[in-house]
Amino acid sequence: MKRVKTAVVGLRRGATLAKFALNYVKSIEIVAVCDLNRELADKFALENGIPAVYYELDEVLKTDVEAVILATPIPDHAEHTIKTLNAGKHLLCEVISATSIEDCQRIANACKANPSVRYMMEENYCWYRPLTIVQNMIKAGLFGDMYYGESDYLMDFQFRAGFPDSVQPWRRKTYFGRRGHPYITHTLGPLCYTLGSDIKTVTCLGAGSHPGVPADRTCVLLLQTHDGGMIRLRNSFMCTRPDLYTYYSVQGTKGCYQGSVGATDTHKVHIRGLCGSQEWRDVYDFRGLLPKEWDMYPKDFFDDSEDNGTTKYDSGTPLLLDAFAKSIISNTTPPVSAKRSLNWTAAGILSEMSINNSGQPVEIPDFGL
Ligand SMILES: NC(=O)c1ccc[n+]([C@@H]2O[C@H](COP(=O)([O-])OP(=O)(O)OC[C@H]3O[C@@H](n4cnc5c(N)ncnc54)[C@H](O)[C@@H]3O)[C@@H](O)[C@H]2O)c1
């Protein structure tokens, strides 16, 4: 079987991705790792038997690797993406694609200039296990026509002594340095992926202030999809409560999925015809609908009862890595295409324009893709 020769660049989050690939993904061969931090790169390569080590992305781009998995800080994504695509390397880039509309357009232009090169954003939450079951229930027609989705992503960075200065400078700038909420692809992406439509307009309002932090404590976004559907998101990095990373709900004409909001909750579905009018069923009653790709994990790997909306966001990440590699091998568009990656990223970026105009809807550009 063909395996895609891949380098992983940025070995904090990238180490997790590399280990997933090494342990589970047959379609990827990790041939090199790279980090500016030489000690980190050397240690990872030694411990995991990686044949080549580099200390700067530019060095990787001079080699014969076919693909790069990029997990560098968000403000560097646009420059790193453009040089990687122009070097003819397929790219899986961590979230989010870019931090300005101009950079989204430059990435789109680089994709167009290199049509045989694949670009995909690493929006792993699209493969979140309960949501994957729901996606297959939708495909089987159990939910009817889909028209609504909602998601919450609530975390608390305030507990860190010295906040906001205690946060890495790039995170401080990206998450807290402006109004609106650019980091929305974990909430938005999986909903678009599940509902099957991307974003036409974004509206954003916010509330709560923290000294020295331009961002609101919480933002609510209302987004209209191209097919007339609607999405509601609440995002916060300054929210005093237990974390919630993976709350999703989707609504169709025949049924609804309501995800877990914490330790005592469950993932549940109501399907008219299969449930009484006020009855919920556990989504895992339908686990037989998980695609066979999930067999890449060892049997009994998952304890679904532990999945409570906070910790299992990486449950399907190896499947994403496999889907990226298979799109290269089969020369097909990756499931999170460049067009979708930039649409979801741009919706977050433009939430700033909406919030600064008292919640006026803002149209998402199509970037010519
Ligand atoms: N999808 C997810 O669930 C998820 C989870 C965590 C982080 N992330 C994303 O992963 C990315 C990285 O996050 P992080 O927390 O690991 O950041 P980090 O700042 O902790 O680590 C980034 C690493 O990249 C290295 N690096 C920077 N520039 C480089 C270059 N030119 N060449 C080689 N190495 C370079 C740095 O030395 C550092 O080790 C971000 O985009 C973040 O949003 C995604």
Query: Residue 240 C-alpha to ligand 1 middle, in angstroms?
Result: 26
Beta strands 146-154 and 218-225, pairing class: unpaired
**Domain 125-333+346-356 superfamily per CATH:** Dihydrodipicolinate Reductase; domain 2 (3.30.360.10)
Q: What is the pLDDT along the chain (369 residues), one digit of tens a residue?
A: 899 999 999 999 999 999 999 999 999 999 999 999 999 999 999 999 999 999 999 999 999 999 999 999 999 999 999 999 999 999 999 999 999 999 999 999 999 999 999 999 999 999 999 999 999 999 999 999 999 999 999 999 998 899 999 999 999 999 999 999 999 999 999 999 999 999 999 999 999 999 989 999 999 999 999 999 999 999 999 999 999 999 999 999 999 999 999 888 999 999 999 999 999 999 999 999 998 999 999 888 887 777 777 778 999 999 999 999 999 999 999 999 999 999 999 999 999 999 999 999 999 999 999
Query: Residue 9 C-alpha to ligand 1 middle, in angstroms?
Result: 8
Phi-psi region of 265 (alpha: psi -120 to 50; beta: other; left: phi over 0): beta
Cα–Cα distance measured from residue 27 to residue 255, given in angstroms and rounded to the nearest whole number: 36
Of 142, 134, 139, which Cα lies nearest the Cα of 272?
142
Cα–Cα distance measured from residue 200 to residue 210, given in angstroms and rounded to the nearest whole number: 31
Structure tokens, 309: 């909306």
Question: Which pLDDT score, from 0 to 100, does residue 111 have?
Answer: 98
Domain boundaries defined on the chain:
4-124, 125-333+346-356
Query: Residue 327 C-alpha to ligand 1 middle, in angstroms?
Result: 24
The dotted CATH code for 4-124 is 3.40.50.720
Ligand 1 closest atom vs CA 94: 41
Q: What is the dihedral of CA 107, 14, 66, 89, to 10 degrees?
A: 10
Query: Residue 48 C-alpha to ligand 1 middle, in angstroms?
Result: 19
Ligand 1, atom 43: closest residue by C-alpha: 95
Instruction: Say if residue 96 is preceded by a cis peptide, omega within 30 of 0.
Output: yes
Ligand 1 closest atom vs CA 35: 34
Ligand 1, atom 25: closest residue by C-alpha: 10
User: pTM to 2 decimals?
Assistant: 0.97
Ligand 1 closest atom vs CA 74: 41
Ligand 1 closest atom vs CA 57: 32
Ligand 1, atom 4: closest residue by C-alpha: 13
Query: Residue 76 C-alpha to ligand 1 middle, in angstroms?
Result: 9
Neighbours of 40 (CB within 10 A): 17
105-129 as b/e: b if 16+ CB within 10 A: bbbbebbeebeebbbbbbbbbbbbb
Cα–Cα distance measured from residue 310 to residue 247, given in angstroms and rounded to the nearest whole number: 9
Question: Which pLDDT score, from 0 to 100, does residue 308 have?
Answer: 73
